[in-house]
Amino acid sequence: MAINLQSLVEQGANVKIEVTAADLKMFGEGIAERVIMAYKQEIESKVPQEETYYNTREVKELLNVCDGTLNLWAKRGYLVPVKVGNKNMYAKSDVRQVRTGGRGDSVTNYCKRKEA
């Protein structure tokens, strides 16, 4: 029955073993592979994703609101559009936060606080 070094380490085995150079090489390569994969995942998670945008019509449909509501939210800083030429565009990430309740405050509470 062959047991590899990694499985012994994972099991926390307290044993004395005799290993060959090939065993040590394979063990070291396994560690290196895991470190490289973890590093790649960390780097990929830090790469900023390119933002995409919705136009006003799409946002109104997604959030089921009217132009007046979007204008009020923009004025109060709740959902602020980006001007592209003469059009308002809304970052998908901002719209997603409003849709999922990911904002730290509800629209009503946010607007009441701004009026005070």
Per-residue pLDDT of 87-110, as tens digits, reads 999 999 899 988 887 655 555 555
Using alpha carbons only, give the angle 32, 36, 41 rounded to the nearest 5 degrees. 150
φ, ψ at 71 (rounded to 5°): -65, -40
The rounded distance, in Å, linking the Cα atoms of 24 and 2 is 14
Q: What is the pTM of this model?
A: 0.50
Per-residue pLDDT of 56-84, as tens digits, reads 999 999 999 999 999 999 999 899 999 98
